[in-house]
Amino acid sequence: MEYRIAVIPGDGIGPEIIGEAKKVLDRVGEVYGHTFHYEEVLMGGISIDTYGVPLTDEALETARKSDSVLLGAVGGNVGNSRWYDVAPNLRPEAGLLAIRKGLNLFANIRPAFLYNGLEDACPLKKEIIGPGFDMVIVRELTGGLYFGERHTETVNGVRQATDTLVYNENEIRRVAVKAFDIAMKRKKKVTSVDKANVLDSSRLWRQVVAETAKDYPEVTLENMLVDNCAMQLVMNPGQFDVILTENMFGDILSDEASMITGSIGMLSSASLNEGKFGLYEPSHGSAPDIAGKGIANPIATILSAAMMLRFSFDLDKEADAVEQAVREVLACGFRTVDIMAEGMTRVGTEVMGARICERII
């Protein structure tokens, strides 16, 4: 098969890690008989330098016409870069918001997985980690509190600020469908997280999720209050398969879940629209402190490319092969600087990419 991928290297370590992810995709193409066509798109600081804005309409259009988008990271050193001496809507990160909105990417998917050999990076006690954990957080990304009406006013001489949290049933249903579809490819369990004991929006959330569950009789649905979920993540992370939640709860819980894996350079993510289209990117930023040194960990980006194979192209076998290659490379003791431990072999970005490629057979 042939696939057209819009590639956004971005800033900082972006071009370095994207280079390795492309090599891995090309290796997959070679072994499994696919061709990936890449079209490079500028976004972030490099787009500001070239066009004066973080994302041009043409760049957005190129992304829209592709089968999926692979993104490195955007942004510079916030305290020390000319990119930040301008209005917020002209800064590098504004490109991210614009592309997510422009492509209607409403479902954010972030796996949190503890790799064999990286247990020491996990801040939890060994008896809590048990045999490990492997979960996916599905977060609603374009609604809720972050997108509701807001204003600040002074009432009777007292300053007062208001944010509004609105969800309609269609917004809830479409992200719930994503979560149940993903659960069908995994351990078939969805934990829907809300605050239904207090919020109307959460009560509607719970109703619509229960209605959606009827179409997935093989999937077990449980409901959990968000405060309990925050505790359960650090008390018994192994109980979770797919966590489904709204925008703000997901923002907080997905950071908590990634924290317990202990390794930012390993965490992939996907943002999906109604169909098969998605934007795939590592969860970390552009790491300007190590840019150009050839030491960045490319694994999060490579695993994001694996998610693209699985979710956008339905190439599950190929995605499995990439994930297995990553596990093998780690089991052989290869480590980039961010996950280095005593007795392991330290490698740079390119060698890590090459070691992964040669295990895709």
To ligand NAD, the closest distance from the beta carbon of 117 in angstroms equals 17
> For residue 91, which of 80, 104, 78 has the smallest C-alpha distance?
78
What gap in Å lies between CA 79 and CA 96, rounded to an integer?
19
Q: Does 28 bind ligand NAD (CB under 6 A)?
A: no
Q: 76, 111, 143, 278: which one contacts ligand NAD (CB under 6 A)?
A: 76
245 to 274: interface string for ligand NAD, x by CB under 6 A: -------------------xx---------
139 to 178: interface string for ligand NAD, x by CB under 6 A: ----------------------------------------
Dihedral sign (CA 46, 48, 52, 56):
positive
Q: 56, 62, 271, 297: which one contacts ligand NAD (CB under 6 A)?
A: 297
Across the chain, the runs of DSSP E, i.e. the strands, are: 2-10, 35-40, 68-73, 107-113, 134-140, 150-155, 158-163, 189-194, 220-225, 242-245, 268-272, 278-282, 334-335, 345-346
Given the residues 101, 188, 189, 195, the one annotated as active site: 195
Q: 287, 303, 322, 330: which one contacts ligand NAD (CB under 6 A)?
A: 287
> For residue 302, which of 24, 4, 113 has the smallest C-alpha distance?
24
> For residue 192, which of 209, 175, 211 has the smallest C-alpha distance?
209
Q: Does 114 bind ligand NAD (CB under 6 A)?
A: no
Specify the residue, 22 or 284, whose C-beta has the smaller distance to ligand NAD.
284
Specify the residue, 233 or 266, whose C-beta has the smaller distance to ligand NAD.
266
Q: Phi then psi for 141, rounded to 5 degrees?
A: -115, -10
> Residue 271's beta-bridge partner residues?
108, 279
Specify the residue, 76 or 278, whose C-beta has the smaller distance to ligand NAD.
76
Q: Which stretch binds ligand NAD (CB under 6 A): 100-108, 140-148, 154-162, 282-290?
A: 282-290
**Please, are residues 138 and 178 in contact by the beta-carbon 8 Å criterion?**
yes
Is residue 146 part of the annotated active site? The answer reads: yes
Q: Which stretch binds ligand NAD (CB under 6 A): 132-140, 177-185, 221-229, 292-300?
A: 292-300
Q: What secondary structure does DSSP assign to 93-132, as a single string?
A: THHHHHHHHHTT--EEEEEEE--TT-GGG--S-HHHHTT-
Q: Which stretch binds ligand NAD (CB under 6 A): 19-27, 234-242, 285-293, 321-329?
A: 285-293
- The residues assigned a catalytic role are 146, 195, 227, 251, 255
- Per CB under 6 A, residues contacting ligand NAD are 13, 73-76, 78, 93, 96, 264-265, 281, 284-290, 296-297, 300, 336, 338
